[in-house]
Structure 1
Amino acid sequence: MTAPDPSPDFLHATRASYDTMAPAYVDFTRGELVAKPLERGLLTAFAELVARDGGGLPLADVGCGTGRVTGYLHGLGLGLDVFGIDLAPQMLAEARKDHPGLRFEEGSMLGLALPDASLGGLLAWYSTIHVPDEELPRAFAEFHRVLAPGGYVQLGFQVGDDPLRLTEAWGMEISLVFHRRRPERVAELLRDAGLEVVSRVWRERETDGPFPERAPQGFVLARRPIVSGGCEYGNTSTAD
C-alpha cells in the first residue's frame, strides 16, 4: 500500500470547489442517468465484466462525488462490493445521506489508500477530467497498482483538445479546470501504465434535453492483464 503524497495545488482547488457547490450539484445531476441510456448500458456492461472476472474483489468508484453512480452499480444486484472514494468531504456527506447503506471514503486517485491488487474493478466516471495532463500517468499507474490481474477500469470524460475553465457555478465562486481529451490519447496512456485497452466509445454531444453538453463524450474500458508464470499477458487488440 502506498501513502498519499502531499496534494498538488489542483487537488486543493478541486476539493474546495466541489465542497462549495455540493448541494446544488446534487439537485443538478438528479435524474441524469435516467436520461442517458447509453451511459447506463456502458456502466452495466462494466459491472457485469467485474462481476464475472473480478474474482469477487471490490469495485471502487473513484471520484464518486455524490454517489449517484456508486448507487446505480450497487442497485444492479450483481452482488458486487461497491464503494466510493472522493476528494471533497461535502460531496461525500451528500453521498452518505442519499446512500446510507454504502461505504464512502475520502481520498485521491494520485495516492489511493488501498493495497496492491485489491480491486476487481475501478470506475473513474468524469473524475480524471480535473487531473492535469502531467499528472494523468501517475493516476493511471495507481489504477494499475490497485487492480488485481484481470480487473477492469472504466473511464468517462469529455472529448476535445482545449480545457474548459470555470470560475462560477450557480452563483458560487469556484476554480475548476475540465481537461478534454481524445479517446486515442487516453488509450495510449492506459497502455503506457500497463493496462490492456478493451474498448473505446465516442458519443456526439447532446444539445437539447435536460442535460445539454458542451463537448462530445468519450468512454474507455481497460483491463489489467492476467499474470501467468510471473508475466502479465492479455489481448493487445482494441475495439473502436
Structure 2
Amino acid sequence: MAEHQDETRAAYDGVVELYASLFDNQLETHPFSRAMIGTFAELVRATGNRRVADVGCGPGHLTAMLHDLGLDAFGLDLSPGMVAHARRARPALRFDEARMEALPVEDGSLGGVLAHYSTIHTPPAELPALLAEQARVLAPGGLLLTSFFATDGPEPVRFDHKVTPAYSRPVDHFAELLTGAGLVPFARLIHDPASERGFLDAHLLARLPGTE
C-alpha cells in the first residue's frame, strides 16, 4: 500500500501547476460531472448536515464549487504540493494533507463525501477498505458521490494515466463494493468518454442508511 501511495504523491507533486491550470475552470467543459455534483449538493443540503469532505481534492477547484453550492466543504489530498496550492489559491477554505484510507475525520460526522476521480489510482484489492473509510465518516443519511473511469469488461483495467498508473472499473462491481461498505447506491450516470483515453465516465451516488 505505501509504495503506490508514495508514487502517487510524488507524481502529483510534480505536476501541481499544470494540473491546476487544466482543471481550475470548475468543470465548465464537463456538464455531466457538473450536473451530478449539483445534484449531490442539493441532496446534502436537504439532510441538514452541510459538512462535506472533498477527498483527493487536488488544487481545490471542486472544494470551492461545493462551497459555492452552499456546503461547508473542506479538501483533503495525499499530495502536499496540491494542498499548498489549494491553500494559496483559496485561503478562505480549509485544506489538509491526508490519506483517503485514514481520513482525519470523526465517525459519522459528515453530510457528504465527494470522491471525484480520486480513487482511480487505488489498486482493486485496496478499494473495499477505502470505501469503508468513506462510509465511516458519513452521518446517517449522508451521501457519497464517487466518479471514476468505467469499463464494459468484467474486471478492472490498469492503464497508464498521464500522471501515474490508474484503473478503470466495471460499474456494477463498483456498486457492489459500495453496498459491501454499508452504503446504498441509488443513482448512476454513465456517459461516453470526456477524454481521449476511451474509457466510459461513471458517477455513482450512494447513501448511508438512516435519516431519509
TM-score range, shorter chain: over 0.9
Could you tell me how far apart the structure 2 residues matched to 1:44 and 1:98 are? 22
Secondary structure in 1 aligned to 2:96? strand
Q: What residue is the counterpart of 1:18 in the other structure?
A: 12
Q: Is 1:37 aligned to 2:21, yes or no?
A: no
Q: Is 1:143 aligned to 2:162, yes or no?
A: no
Q: Is 1:162 aligned to 2:176, yes or no?
A: no
Could you tell me how far apart the structure 1 residues matched to 2:103 and 2:173 are? 23
| RMSD over equivalenced CA pairs, Å | 1.6
Q: TM-score, normalised by structure 1?
A: 0.82
TM-superposed deviation, 1:205: 1.1
Could you tell me how far apart the structure 2 residues matched to 1:25 and 1:186 are? 26
Gaps of 5+ in 1: 1-6, 228-233, 235-240
The structure that has the greater radius of gyration is 1
TM-superposed deviation, 1:57: 4.6
Alignment length, in residue pairs?
Answer: 208
Q: What residue is the counterpart of 2:56 in the other structure?
A: 63
Structure 1 residue corresponding to 2:198, chosen from 214, 219, 222: 214
Using the TM superposition, name which of 23-32 and 61-70 deviates more: 23-32
**Identical aligned pairs, as a percentage?**
40
Q: What residue is the counterpart of 1:3 in the other structure?
A: none
Is the CA contact 2:149–2:199 (under 8 Å) kept in the aligned structure 1?
Answer: yes
Gaps of 5+ in 2: none
Q: What residue is the counterpart of 1:192 in the other structure?
A: 180
TM-superposed deviation, 1:140: 0.9
Structure 2 residue corresponding to 1:124, chosen from 115, 140, 156: 115
Could you tell me how far apart the structure 1 residues matched to 2:132 and 2:30 are? 30
Q: TM-score, normalised by structure 2?
A: 0.92
Could you tell me how far apart the structure 2 residues matched to 1:9 and 1:185 are? 25
